[in-house]
Amino acid sequence: MLRRFPGVDAIVSALDIALPQPDQLCGPFSASIALTAVVGDTPDVTALAIASGSAIWPGEIDSARPPGTPRITDGWDCLPRAASIDTAGTTAAGLATGIATATEGRVAVVPIMGPGAEGLRLLLARLTDVQFRFGLLANVHTAELTEFDWSVGHFVTILGMDTVEDVVAIADTYRELGVSGMPPGCRTVPIDALASSMSERGLLLVVDNDGRRAALDLTRSLDLRNDVWSV
């Protein structure tokens, strides 16, 4: 049985309205969705992208999107151009800073680098019972999580876990990546696969400031690394 995190209803509702993400802005898009579980007046994707230092490669990059998904350029006119395709998008460090900046310091971000499968299971299980409000972003490599040819760095939002099936529910950034029986853009993936997809990346636990200390204490009690990754 899927154990949903608190705040998932707000996330799913916001996702259905917002899909799909603007090209190259999966980080700010997913952050905007995850923040609906934490604060009422959530910054929009463009505001988060500006605060996070996102940059855009203006050319068409078909491989940046899953097959059959639309190209959306909303907000691009407000953003700087990247020096190369490889530097386009948003870094994890930039996104963590951008979330705090765009929410005027009301929200903090606790990074969790490469939690591994067992660390991820323990963390998700503990998060189902915490008292603080939070959203959970995963910075993944898509090749580990899809059956088609799509291999990029990507951000998704985690919604909960099923300990019997050993899967995690995620909210992705394209309607086409959802599955029947789940909200638009949502699906489940094996916990082992999600952990593997974050081997050089990790999680951003987004909490209101009142919950920051409790969130840090939780991650440290599980011996998780509170570092930000560079890829």
| DSSP secondary structure code for residue 210 in this structure | G
206-228: pLDDT as tens digits: 999 999 999 999 999 999 999 99
Q: Which of 8-12, 146-150, 152-156 has the lowest mean pLDDT?
A: 146-150
86-110: pLDDT as tens digits: 899 999 999 999 999 999 999 999 9
Q: Which of 59-63, 69-73, 110-114, 133-137 has the lowest mean pLDDT?
A: 59-63
pTM value? 0.97
| pLDDT at position 230 | 82
Beta strand ranges found along the chain (DSSP E): 2-4, 107-113, 134-141, 153-162, 167-171, 186-190, 202-208
Query: What domains lie within the chain, and their CATH numbers?
Result: 2-221 (3.90.70.30)
Instruction: Cis check for the bond before 20: say yes or no (omega within 30 of 0).
Output: yes
For residue 68, report the phi and psi dihedrals to the nearest 5 degrees.
85, 5
- Tell me the helix, strand and coil percentages in the chain, rounded to 5: 40, 20, 40
| pLDDT at position 133 | 94
